[in-house]
Amino acid sequence: MAVVAEANIGSSIAVEREALTPHGKKAVAGAFFGLAIDFYDIYLPTVALTPAIIYFIPKNLPLQTTATLNFIVFAVTLIGRPIGALIFGHFADVIGRRRTTMIAVGGFGVMTLLIALMPGYAAWGYTAIVLLILLRLVDGIFMGGEYTSANPLAMEACPKHLRGLVGGVIQAAYPIAYIAIALTVTIILAFVPAGQLNSPYVQWGWRIPFVIGGVIAIVFLFFYARVEESKVWEAEGKTTRTKAPLVELFSGQNLRHLAQVFLMMTGLWFSVQVAISFTPTLLQVVLKEPAKSVINGLIVANVLLAVSYIIVAVMGQAFGRRLTLIVSGLWTAVLATLFYYWMTANAAGHGSLFVTMALYTVALCLSISPWGIVTTYITERFATGVRASGYGVGYSLAVIIPGFLSFYLLALAKVMPYIYTPVVFLALAGALQVIGAWLGPETRDVEMAATLAPGTALEPHEPREPRRRISPT
């Protein structure tokens, strides 16, 4: 009877573990909405500020210089993210995921509101663009803390068989956020004209999306206050660590895991820099496509990108993260690169804008869809005691090299036409993703709550079985 009872208990526990608990649902919703707000704020410069960048810079600058300055405003945000990951990853592993998330979101909400109050070049000269860049850097530091703490909390609350799908849903917050900001700017531009320095949008209309971003970040804090702390971290976060999280992360086995993730993520970030960060500037500033039409095209492209995230996430759950990352890296290096080249050639030849945006949409979905696996894969690579640090640093540190893409493009323009230089880096992105994923193990069967001896790291290709309760009879 005792054996039967024990079997029934074990069966009920197994069934319970298959369900996403109310705690887990709140954690996943918090990670999704937190990342959506994060990405909304990240891409404010490329969508909301691009039509108004002349507000912050002197007149008659060369187009390439204007495009580079606009890109720098965006790029410093990405450079701030790994700094934030280092700072907030430590605190997420030491004081908890939930509290750290709230501090980070509150911080970038305030920074975004401050940017909305900025004067321009006419009032402050070059100080305006310098201060804008500095505020965006601090903004990026706080943004780096949001997903560093919130996403591991969500993944630790998720059953193994749902981790792939849930990770894809969380990452799909990016295109949804992009759609939200693009729609916001489109509506504003319909009533507030842009174009000249004295036009309403350039003088004050661009501030509206920044105010919205800051306000929704503050409002989000009231929701996230209802999210519970990670049960996995509370049970294991302190017992599996004998050193400071960053010391443990940058040593031994964890360092090898981090190096492999860094290589793979460098490729993925090059894809983002080319397909997402630089392309709106290329189309609007360099190739002179109308801003409103480009933004409308970006809305459609990102609807399909959200779907592609989920498709690749499901592929990763069905066929394994490693294989899916390798295959998707190959299609980035070959297919996405070809479609991006055709897009640029069509735009440069004054072809149909519809065709240009259709080609861009295909290139975008092919090159960025592998991000649907990123959150799941990286959190599975690190043990509980260093998971937030490992995820945050692994996710963000790799952005530094791709973050200077605009300078690489200027250098490469000495040997080839400037408008085609992004194609080279998109091919490089796919190659780095393939190599990085190939060097890593499969992680689909990792136990996130596996108990480890102090100071040791989890080997993803050797999942640990949960401890079983033995009946005293």
- Confirm if 341 and 281 have CB atoms less than 8 A apart: no
Token pair for residue 131?
A: 């201060």
Among 361, 331, 332, 356, CA closest to 344: 356
- Confirm if 157 and 230 have CB atoms less than 8 A apart: yes
With 0-12 / 13-18 / 19 or more C-beta atoms within 10 angstroms meaning exposed / middle / buried, residue 8 is exposed
Per-residue pLDDT at 471: 36
Structural domains of the chain, ranges and CATH numbers in brackets: 27-439 (1.20.1250.20)
Question: What's CA 317's distance to the chain center, in Å?
Answer: 20
Gap between the Cα atoms of 194 and 200, Å rounded: 6
Q: For residue 101, what is the enclosing H or E element?
A: helix 97-116
Q: Where are the alpha helices (DSSP H) in 157-172?
A: 163-171
Which residues fall within 8 angstroms of residue 99, CB to CB, at 6 or more apart?
91, 229
Per-residue pLDDT at 453: 38
Per-residue pLDDT at 54: 84
Query: What tens-digit pLDDT sequence spans the chain (473 residues)?
Result: 443 433 443 444 443 446 788 888 999 999 999 999 998 998 888 788 888 888 888 887 777 777 778 778 878 888 898 899 999 999 999 999 999 999 999 999 999 999 999 998 888 888 998 999 999 999 999 999 999 999 999 999 998 899 999 999 999 998 899 889 888 988 998 898 887 888 899 899 999 999 999 999 999 999 999 999 998 888 875 555 567 889 999 999 999 999 999 999 999 999 999 998 888 878 877 787 877 788 788 889 989 999 999 999 999 999 999 999 999 999 999 999 999 999 999 988 888 889 989 999 999 999 999 999 999 999 999 988 899 999 999 999 998 899 888 889 989 999 999 889 999 999 999 999 999 999 999 999 988 875 333 344 444 444 444 433 333 33
Per-residue pLDDT at 400: 85
Which residues fall within 8 angstroms of residue 82, CB to CB, at 6 or more apart?
144, 393, 396, 397, 399, 400
Gap between the Cα atoms of 22 and 149, Å rounded: 19
| Residue type, position 350, single letter | H
Helix (H, G, I), strand (E, B) or coil at 351: coil
- CA atoms lying within 13 Å on the CB side of residue 330: 6
Token pair for residue 342?
A: 């055709």
- Confirm if 429 and 268 have CB atoms less than 8 A apart: yes
Per-residue pLDDT at 404: 86
Gap between the Cα atoms of 159 and 317, Å rounded: 12
Per-residue pLDDT at 290: 78
Compute, in degrees rounded to 10, the torsion defined by CA atoms 69, 70, 71, 74: 120
Neighbours of 12 (CB within 10 A): 10
Cα angle 272, 402, 52 (rounded to 5 degrees) comes to 65
Q: Model-level pTM?
A: 0.82
Gap between the Cα atoms of 177 and 40, Å rounded: 5
Neighbours of 404 (CB within 10 A): 15
